[in-house]
Structure 1
Amino acid sequence: MLADLAPITLGELEASASLQTRIDRKYLVPTSALPVLLDALDPAVRTLEIDGERVFAYESVYFDTPGLTSYLGAARRRRNRFKVRTRTYVDSDVCWVEVKTRGPRGATVKTRLPHEAAGRTELDDPALRFTSDALDDARIGGLDGPMGPTLLSSYDRVTLHVPSATPGPDSRTTIDTDLVWTDAATGRERALVGLAVVETKTGSTPSSTDRLLWRHGHRPVRISKYGTGMAVLHPELPSTPWRRVLDRHVG
């Protein structure tokens, strides 16, 4: 199905649908349903292609304080919650440190800085300064100590460029499969078996991908690769936002 879609380069995608401030909607879709959905996409949708490849390996390392300030902020739905991670594009060995905070009306605001891939499980001095500045800009304080790695997630991703039907920026849809969570301290692993995480990244208006998913009976769910992964590996932690997903899909 991917082979039937027209390609788009990374430069074209970032120029028309960078969406560093955006509305994220996430869906859990059985992998067996993906061919039908891909076949029904808007014909104008294009897929990211780099050096002839359309499926790319990703690895994220999440960082938190000793008291899990980031995790608990999400678990307790605090207004000033945040997330800090390194994101590595495994195939190209390119890495960024990224800080995600909350903007107006629930929008996600992401800022990032290049990072050495070889040191992706640590935050070096430039990354620490960048992280501190980003959190200060978002008026987030009260951290209980230095941040260290807590969780790794690895998966394969397909990225789609979705033209906007209204004036405004185009959107992205990502399809993540073969997701595996690994505890940074113990090395324990859990996999999300038989399910894909489909995420739409839009402006204020839902994309044609959202409407396609709705027509096929899929509704947005609360799932966070960091929050849900930590809750799976550490069932003693509070996990109210992701309880339905944990009970119905992860177990």
Structure 2
Amino acid sequence: MTRRTHAAMTGALAQLAPITLEEVLAEASLQTRVDRKYLVPIATFVELVTRLRHRFAVLEIDGQRTFRYESVYFDTPSHGLYRQHVQRRRYRYKVRTRSYLDSGECSFEVKLKGNRSETVKSRMPYPLEDRARLTGPAREFLAEQLRTAYGVGVIDRLQPALTTTYRRSTLVDRVEHARMTCDIDLRFFDRDAAVDVLPNTVLVESKTSGRAGAADLVLRDLQVRPIQVSKYCVAAALLNPQLRANPWHRTLRQLTRSG
């Protein structure tokens, strides 16, 4: 991200009151939710935050408002989980570790697609040093989630597929208790390749319990429409051009054009 863009992001967030991590969890602990995702040019993002400044607060820890994240995604050698999403299977899921690099904390997460297209996320604490592999407890946790939600077992041969890194700011709507995450500096890589995307764009995710929230309404007014995007799926498609990627063709064009 350019210095100018980074300064614009920092200036926009400076308009917001701070909120602690404990307050974030109390205000907007949405584990079952509807996600709406947007690619927002930095100038539009500044306007979005300006319009929301009286009702949204931003997570602040030790004076920081943007934090480093790393996610390691797991899949089969033949990209079986990725193909579930391409084919829009009713029962599809993602498996990853999520590391908060500034605090050294890590979690193992399973993201399931619910019956009404909502995202259901379950997590457990995880050793940071194990973030690039599946331990026995992680496999047991995954098996339990799949049996409970889908009545199926774990796909064998799950292994690290790719890693995503980015910087994230988390905003909370104190009126509707919704959440908005804002990601910059996205980088995708695996053992063979790496790609940086969106140097002047913010990936905004609005997370609500159902209906469109305040952020969604402002973005609509700013002529920004939701897109279909999954960090894992677009990363896999960019790093493996031979994979079919029909659902994300428009998004991939935007990512590469913006990058």
- When normalised by structure 2's length, the TM-score is 0.90
| Structure 1: gaps spanning 5 or more residues | none
Residue in structure 2 matched with residue 189 of structure 1 by the alignment: 194
Residue in structure 2 matched with residue 75 of structure 1 by the alignment: 86
Q: Is the 8 A contact 1:102 1:108 kept in 2?
A: yes
Q: Is the 8 A contact 1:26 1:222 kept in 2?
A: yes
| Deviation readout 1:6-46 (Å, 9 max, x if unpaired) | 11111111112110000000001122432222222140210
Dislocated runs of 4+, deviation >3 Å:
140-144
| Deviation readout 1:71-120 (Å, 9 max, x if unpaired) | 01111111101000000001001000000001131010000000011111
Residue in structure 1 matched with residue 131 of structure 2 by the alignment: 120
Q: Secondary structure at the match of 1:145?
A: coil
Residue in structure 1 matched with residue 28 of structure 2 by the alignment: 17
Give, as a single letter, the amino acid of the residue that structure 1 aligns with 2:115.
Answer: P
Distance 1:90 1:64, change over 3 A: same
Which residue, out of 220, 226, 233, partners 2:226? Answer: 220
Q: How far apart, in 2, do the equivalents of 1:61 and 1:95 lie?
A: 11
Q: How far apart, in 2, do the equivalents of 1:16 and 1:162 lie?
A: 8
For residues 201-240 of structure 1, what are the structure 2 equivalents within 5 Å? 201-240=207-246
Residue in structure 2 matched with residue 177 of structure 1 by the alignment: 184
Q: Is the 8 A contact 1:97 1:113 kept in 2?
A: yes
Q: How far apart, in 1, do the equivalents of 2:212 and 2:86 lie?
A: 26
Q: Secondary structure at the match of 1:223?
A: coil
Superposition RMSD in Å:
1.4
For residues 1-251 of structure 1, what are the structure 2 equivalents within 5 Å? 1-139=12-150, 141=152, 144-165=155-176, 170-183=177-190, 185-186=191-192, 188-193=193-198, 194-250=200-256
| Identical pairs, percent | 42
Give, as a single letter, the amino acid of the residue that structure 1 aligns with 2:196.
Answer: A
Q: How far apart, in 2, do the equivalents of 1:196 and 1:18 lie?
A: 23
Q: Is the 8 A contact 1:56 1:156 kept in 2?
A: yes
Q: Is the 8 A contact 1:59 1:87 kept in 2?
A: yes
| Deviation readout 1:154-197 (Å, 9 max, x if unpaired) | 000010001345xxxx11000000100001x32x1111132221
What displacement does 1:142 show? 6.3
Give, as a single letter, the amino acid of the residue that structure 2 aligns with 1:35.
Answer: V
Q: Is the 8 A contact 1:67 1:144 kept in 2?
A: no
Q: How far apart, in 1, do the equivalents of 2:90 and 2:240 lie?
A: 23
5-14 or 152-161, larger mean C-alpha shift: 5-14
Give, as a single letter, the amino acid of the residue that structure 1 aligns with 2:238.
Answer: V
Q: How far apart, in 2, do the equivalents of 1:206 and 1:155 lie?
A: 26
What displacement does 1:54 show? 0.7
What displacement does 1:144 show? 4.9
> What count of residue pairs does the alignment treat as equivalent?
245
Give, as a single letter, the amino acid of the residue that structure 1 aligns with 2:179.
Answer: R
- When normalised by structure 1's length, the TM-score is 0.93
What displacement does 1:140 show? 5.7
